Amino acid sequence: MSHLIAPSILTASFLDLRKEVEMLNNSDADWIHLDIMDGVFVPNISFGFEIIKQIKSIARRPLDAHLMITDPSRYLDEFKHSGVDKLTVHFETNVHLHRIIQHIKSLGMSAGVAINPHTPVHVLKNILSDLDMVLIMTVNPGFGAQSFIDFSFDKIRDLKELRNKVGSKAMIQVDGGVDMKNIRSLVDAGVDVFVVGNTIFSAENPLQVIHDLKFL
């Protein structure tokens, strides 16, 4: 399977959000990534259900939501009703992680778990076989346009090894600091899905950048 590109609209122009989503509809992007922040788990606030619903009304790509929020279990049903197709919660915010993953799946969404840069991949050993995806944060979550954390390569390789060991089919996703300089090495390390924000939306020709990231 070739790698997937999931542009994050966190760094898109919210004054022209329809235009930005329609650009993604006409691009080589595979998913549309939604960074949901509550100002508690991370020091930033992004957007909520009404904006997700508006994006869903015009999007022709699956919506991939990354919840950087405390107690996400309160909102799982609402994310489903808002049109999210793939839902990722943080290991660091969930005491009853297995229960939440099962709830997400029962709603018909793909279930993922994200881990912060300081969290080792081995903590996912007992849940990995239940997951559709693992998101390795390659920057500290909360803001776009950050630099890639180099030790993330070791975590990606460790996760790939653990995935093979337990027989999981979970996709490996990375988020943060991805550009044309490092994406080839990340593909070689085992990444399946790339969340890319600033590299795309700050470009003069985002369509070309998405194409280049997809078909490097």
Largest CA distance in the chain: 47
Q: Which of 30, 64, 132, 175 is catalytic?
A: 175
The yes-or-no answer on residue 35 being catalytic is yes
Q: Is 63 left (phi over 0), alpha (psi -120 to 50) or beta?
A: beta
Query: Any bridge partners for residue 87, and if so which?
Result: 65, 111
Instruction: Give the CATH superfamily of 4-214.
Output: Aldolase class I (3.20.20.70)
Helices (H), the chain: 17-25, 49-58, 76-82, 97-106, 152-166, 183-189, 198-201, 206-214
The yes-or-no answer on residue 38 being catalytic is no
Q: Which of 30, 35, 38, 64 is catalytic?
A: 35
One-letter amino acid at 147 equals S
pTM for this one?
0.96
Tokens of 210: 């998405």
Q: What string of pLDDT tens digits covers the 216 residues of the chain?
A: 589 999 999 999 999 999 999 999 999 999 999 999 999 999 999 999 999 999 999 999 999 999 999 999 999 999 999 999 999 999 999 889 999 999 999 999 999 999 999 999 999 999 999 999 999 999 988 776 678 999 999 999 999 999 999 999 999 999 999 999 999 999 999 999 999 999 999 999 999 999 999 998
Nearest to 89 by CA among 54, 74, 8: 74
Would you list the domain boundaries of the chain?
4-214
